Amino acid sequence: MTNKRWYLGLIVLLGGLPAGAADYSADFDRTQLPPEVVEQLSTIPLLEGWDALAGVPGPIDAYAIGMVHWWAQLREQGQLDEESLREWVAEHDIGTDMLIRLLSSVSPKSLADEAHQPMCAVVYENLGADINTYIDLPPKVRLIMAIYLEGLGRVAGTKTLLSSVSELGQEAVSGILFATIGYELWKQRTGQHTAIWALKEAVQREEPSSRATTRCYEIMLACRQLGDPDVVREELIPWAEEALARPGSEAYLERALPALLWAYDYVGEPEKAIERGQYWFQQAEQRDVPPEKLVAAKRQLADVLTKTDQFEQAAKIFTPALQTVRPEQLGAWQQVSEQTTRTVLVSGNLTFSITAATCELPSVTAVLGERQSDERERQSHYVIEVTFGPKGKVGTYETTLVIETNDPENGVITVPIKVRVLAK
């Protein structure tokens, strides 16, 4: 039995579908759903705190849940869009109160589901653009409408609705619930302003103060999706600075400090990133933070240093490391009096550099190209062009390409070379 039929059958058992919807469940066998399942679904309490957000404390509204799932199924199948829902709502005289009831039944993990967009659009059309009209809606519906308004570009309206939800007391809604909302929104790549708000709300409600440093990382991910330096400057930098300064933040510094350094660099302040990075590394040493907790932060600071051409300083913070040499040996065939050029690609981490490339055989020359960086992969790459000069005699010539690097474990790399010179 498909999920669609199951949900529609549940609706029929618990109160029936609205007029015009019965044809979707004509072949449903009611005996396939045990009565005890219906009884359980009608009495299971909502997730702790979720009833307060919904504004309808008590047992699950199974009818509303079933309706939401039914519409979601129709939307997935391309049978329901904003316009067709608006027509259906008008035809069957579905009022705004009923739509709000349906939105109140949405689960915390599907707040940003696109299936709710048609309902939000109709509610928005019915209530109008005045944000004050939405303040008296159930808190969960305010959250959903805040996400919808963010999608319309009405970020100010989104923040107003979120602020009204923040007024709910800690005893009504747990921090864990808000953390779940923030994570789910980030995962669904939508409503990132709301995600940032929810993550901060979680910390302010019941999580230990040290957990604020953990949320810095999730807030950074949301800021990356928004791609707005002003949001980074407003939401992440002050939050991360304050979180790092809190007593007990040492255990979570490995997530907060990289986020802060990334933030300063992202808003175009690399020197500030370097200054604050050095300061927090000193603080970490004084607070006995284990070195392994600082690896990601050192990598991030080294990345900023290399962008500002401070390679030596970067290498002191994050150990240079060779990654690949391709090919590991070089061969060429050429005719007498001709020359041939081959390339060697050497890659390392972001602080890795090559200081020299030479060949032992005078007729073979090596030219080292400029350092190329891959910011996404945090790698550096070098291309070395090896040219085999013309030879007057037929034969096989062997030599070695010697590459000098700043890798303490691979200071000198050798690439065997074999050239075969053929008669014309």
Categorize the per-residue pLDDT at 214 as very low, low, confident or very high, splitting at 50, 70 and 90.
confident
The average pLDDT across 84-109 equals 75
Question: Which region among 15-29, 51-65, 98-112, 173-187 has the lowest average model confidence (pLDDT)?
Answer: 15-29
Angle between helices 270-286 and 237-245 (to 10 degrees): 20
Residue 213 pLDDT > 60, yes or no?
Answer: yes
Q: Give CA 325 to chain center in angstroms.
A: 32
Q: Which two tokens stand for residue 98?
A: 């009923």
364 plus 297 within the same structural domain: no
Which residues are within 8 A (CB) of 189 and not within 5 positions of it... i.e. 6 or more apart? 225
Indicate the residue type of 70: W
Per the CB < 8 A criterion, the answer to whether 380 and 347 are in contact is yes
Backbone angles phi, psi at 341, to 5 degrees: -120, 135
Categorize the per-residue pLDDT at 373 as very low, low, confident or very high, splitting at 50, 70 and 90.
confident
Per the CB < 8 A criterion, the answer to whether 307 and 334 are in contact is no
The average pLDDT across 347-358 equals 94
396 plus 273 within the same structural domain: no
pLDDT of residue 47: 36
* Distance, CA of 365 to CA of 385 (rounded, Å): 8
pLDDT of residue 254: 87
Range of the domain at 46: 3-317
136 plus 172 within the same structural domain: yes
143 plus 91 within the same structural domain: yes
284 plus 326 within the same structural domain: no
Q: Which two tokens stand for residue 398?
A: 């062997």
pLDDT of residue 14: 35
| Entry pTM | 0.69
CA-nearest of 287, 286, 306, 288 to 298 is 306
DSSP structure string for 130-190 = -GGGGTTS-HHHHHHHHHHHHHTT-HHHHHHHHHHHHTS-TTTS-HHHHHHHHHHHHHTT-
Per the CB < 8 A criterion, the answer to whether 246 and 209 are in contact is yes
Residue 296 pLDDT > 70, yes or no?
Answer: yes
CATH number for the domain that contains residue 402: 2.60.40.10
Residue 5 pLDDT > 80, yes or no?
Answer: no
73 plus 164 within the same structural domain: yes
pLDDT of residue 424: 76
**Torsion angle defined by CA atoms of residues 305, 311, 317 and 319, in that order, rounded to the nearest 10 degrees:** 130
* Distance, CA of 236 to CA of 219 (rounded, Å): 7
Q: Which of 67-81, 125-139, 200-214, 344-358 has the highest mean pLDDT?
A: 344-358
Task: Give 152's Cβ-side CA count (13 Å radius).
Answer: 16
Residue 84 pLDDT > 90, yes or no?
Answer: no
| Domain limit, last residue, from 317, 342, 361 | 317
DSSP structure string for 42-101 = TTPBPSTTHHHHHT--SB--HHHHHHHHHHHHHHHTT---HHHHHHHHHHTT--HHHHHH
* Distance, CA of 264 to CA of 325 (rounded, Å): 34
328 plus 365 within the same structural domain: yes
Where would I find the H helices in 267-308?
Answer: 270-286, 295-307
Tally of domains in the chain: 2
CA-nearest of 103, 123, 1 to 55 is 103
Categorize the per-residue pLDDT at 109 as very low, low, confident or very high, splitting at 50, 70 and 90.
low
The average pLDDT across 36-50 equals 39
| Domain limit, last residue, from 317, 344, 372 | 317
Please report which helix (H) or strand (E) contains residue 204, including its range. Answer: helix 192-205
284 plus 350 within the same structural domain: no
The 10s digit of each residue's pLDDT in 174-185 is 677 778 778 878
Categorize the per-residue pLDDT at 117 as very low, low, confident or very high, splitting at 50, 70 and 90.
confident
Residue 400 DSSP SS3: strand
The average pLDDT across 52-72 equals 53
* Distance, CA of 63 to CA of 351 (rounded, Å): 60
Residue 15 pLDDT > 50, yes or no?
Answer: no
User: Left if phi > 0, otherwise alpha if psi is -120 to 50, otherwise beta: which for 44?
Assistant: beta
Q: Which two tokens stand for residue 157?
A: 């309206």
pLDDT of residue 255: 87
Residue 31 pLDDT > 60, yes or no?
Answer: no
304 plus 326 within the same structural domain: no
Instruction: Write the burial class of residue 110 (CB in 10 Å: 0-12 exposed, 13-18 middle, 19+ buried).
Output: middle
Residue 268 pLDDT > 80, yes or no?
Answer: yes
* Distance, CA of 182 to CA of 108 (rounded, Å): 10
Residue 223 pLDDT > 70, yes or no?
Answer: yes
How far, in Å, are 54, 119, 197, 230, 412 from residue 141 at the CA level? Answer: 7, 11, 16, 28, 64
Q: Which two tokens stand for residue 72?
A: 């979601």
Other C-beta atoms closer than 10 Å to the C-beta of 136 total 9
Alpha-carbon dihedral sign for residues 98, 104, 109, 114: positive
177 plus 225 within the same structural domain: yes
| Domain limit, last residue, from 317, 350, 380 | 317
Task: Give 239's Cβ-side CA count (13 Å radius).
Answer: 27
* Distance, CA of 404 to CA of 248 (rounded, Å): 44
Q: Which two tokens stand for residue 36?
A: 């005890």
**Torsion angle defined by CA atoms of residues 151, 155, 159 and 162, in that order, rounded to the nearest 10 degrees:** 0
The 10s digit of each residue's pLDDT in 312-341 is 899 999 999 999 999 999 988 888 888 889
Residue 133 pLDDT > 80, yes or no?
Answer: yes
Backbone angles phi, psi at 349, to 5 degrees: -75, -175
CATH number for the domain that contains residue 80: 1.25.40
Please report which helix (H) or strand (E) contains residue 334, including its range. Answer: strand 330-335
pLDDT of residue 36: 44
Indicate the residue type of 249: S
Question: Which region among 62-76, 115-129, 175-189, 240-254 has the lowest average model confidence (pLDDT)?
Answer: 62-76
pLDDT of residue 359: 92
395 plus 417 within the same structural domain: yes
261 plus 394 within the same structural domain: no
